[in-house]
Structure 1
Amino acid sequence: MDLLVHWTLDFLEDVLPQETLASLRAWQTKLLHPSSPLSRLAQQSVALLSTTAAMTYPMVADALDRLAALLATAPNAIGVVLVLVLAVVVLQVLSLVRRIMLFWTRLALRLVFWAVVGLVASAVWQRGVGRTIQDAVVIGSKLVGFVSGVVNVWIREYERAQAEQQQQQQGYRYQGRSGGGRSGAGW
């Protein structure tokens, strides 16, 4: 750990001012001193982990040996387990991507909403309530006119497509009755 701290401080020499670096080196000597509480806590943690590992190894070793023997006798199980693990990892990554996309989409829509609210508030502030309402009515009427025009075009095209479909169905019925269509003897 001491080497990591020294390496980090050496790296930060080029970035930090000399006063800050001197302060960090003073804290380093206080915190990393063998009699400091942090050092004692680290030593006790390492000792506790090593004794715990030494105590649990005999219990876990038998289970690990059985697992290794099972995997040695059934190599196909390894393939199945790997495929299942891969499927779970892929699903987790896809779920993460979906959540990221949802977050950014929601953020963008919120920004657009608040931008529109800000623009409306700015327009009301600059032009006054009366003129803003008049502008909104004019814009709304133009929008309604545009939408009604689009609806009319859509209805005309829909009716034309329906008429063509009915003509095609009648033509198929006529060809079906004559038994030969255009290749008949009377043509």
Structure 2
Amino acid sequence: MDRSDIWVLDVLNGFLPEKTMDLLQEQIQNPQTALQAVWEHTASAAAKVTALLSPVFAPLLARALQALHDSPDVVVIGFLLAFFVFALQLIAWVHRTMMYFTRLAFRLLGWALVAALVAFVWRRGPEATIRDAVVVVSKIAGYASFVKDVWWSEYQKFDAQTKRGGNPGQRAPSGGYSRPGTAGW
């Protein structure tokens, strides 16, 4: 590799430590390293393939370029399709990234809750924890019973209003939702 091929070292000079930069320069610039042998072998193979396929693909490439030159609409449509595909790929990448971090956050939250539960049981003891769980479940059951009673009473009011809704002369009960002088909702 000559100096024009190792422009990457100039870019990395401010980012990497001195020892790493020295190692990279030694590996890239020394002609006896495996990296140099691979580079030279790859470059010579690419030159041979290019020389072999150039007579076959040069006329095809010239015809394709001439067709694109004669029909600029195809180029515009191609650029629009490429932009559309790029935009979709970008949106898919953002979606995957957001889903990854959302899943990660919920997994961390789940494990944090498990750890908090284990710490709570460890601190309070199994008997006190069971007693607290029974109290909490009974409070939740009492609240659910209260909500069920309120819902059932409201349902019965609604059912009574809808059954009387066909008679325009009747008024809704005082606790109903309809305005005075109207029947039903």
Both proteins in one fold, TM over 0.5: yes
Aligned with 2:51 (options 54, 59, 65): 54
* Partner residue, 1:5: 9
Question: Against the structure 1 CA distance between its residues 145 and 65, is the aligned structure 2 distance closer, same or farther, given a 3 Å change threshold?
Answer: farther
* Partner residue, 2:177: none
* Partner residue, 1:63: 60
Question: Against the structure 1 CA distance between its residues 141 and 46, is the aligned structure 2 distance closer, same or farther, given a 3 Å change threshold?
Answer: same
Aligned with 2:82 (options 81, 85, 90): 85
Question: Against the structure 1 CA distance between its residues 152 and 83, is the aligned structure 2 distance closer, same or farther, given a 3 Å change threshold?
Answer: farther
Report if aligned partners of 2:28, 2:35 keep a CA contact under 8 Å in 1: yes
Query: Across the two proteins, how many residue pairs are aligned to each other?
Result: 164
* Partner residue, 2:41: 44
Inter-partner Cα distance in structure 2 for 1:155 and 1:79: 66
Q: TM-score by structure 2 length?
A: 0.67
Question: Against the structure 1 CA distance between its residues 114 and 3, is the aligned structure 2 distance closer, same or farther, given a 3 Å change threshold?
Answer: closer
Report if aligned partners of 1:32, 1:38 keep a CA contact under 8 Å in 2: no
The sequence identity of aligned pairs, in percent, is 28
Question: Against the structure 1 CA distance between its residues 109 and 144, is the aligned structure 2 distance closer, same or farther, given a 3 Å change threshold?
Answer: farther
How far did 1:42 drift? Answer: 1.6
Report if aligned partners of 2:9, 2:21 keep a CA contact under 8 Å in 1: no
How far did 1:168 drift? Answer: 7.8
The reply on whether 1:141 has 2:138 as its aligned counterpart is yes
Question: Against the structure 1 CA distance between its residues 161 and 92, is the aligned structure 2 distance closer, same or farther, given a 3 Å change threshold?
Answer: farther
Aligned with 1:32 (options 29, 41, 44): 29
How far did 1:132 drift? Answer: 0.5
Question: Against the structure 1 CA distance between its residues 29 and 111, is the aligned structure 2 distance closer, same or farther, given a 3 Å change threshold?
Answer: closer
Q: Unpaired segments of 5 or more residues in structure 2?
A: 169-185
Which is helix-richer, 1 or 2? 1
Question: Against the structure 1 CA distance between its residues 97 and 25, is the aligned structure 2 distance closer, same or farther, given a 3 Å change threshold?
Answer: closer
Matched residue SS, 2:31: coil
Q: Unpaired segments of 5 or more residues in structure 1?
A: 172-187
- Deviation per CA, 1:149-180, whole angstroms, max 9, x where unpaired? 44555556666677777888876xxxxxxxxx
How far did 1:39 drift? Answer: 1.9
Q: TM-score by structure 1 length?
A: 0.67
Letter of the aligned partner of 2:82 in structure 1? V
CA root-mean-square deviation: 3.2
Bigger RCO (CA 8 Å, 6+ sep): 2
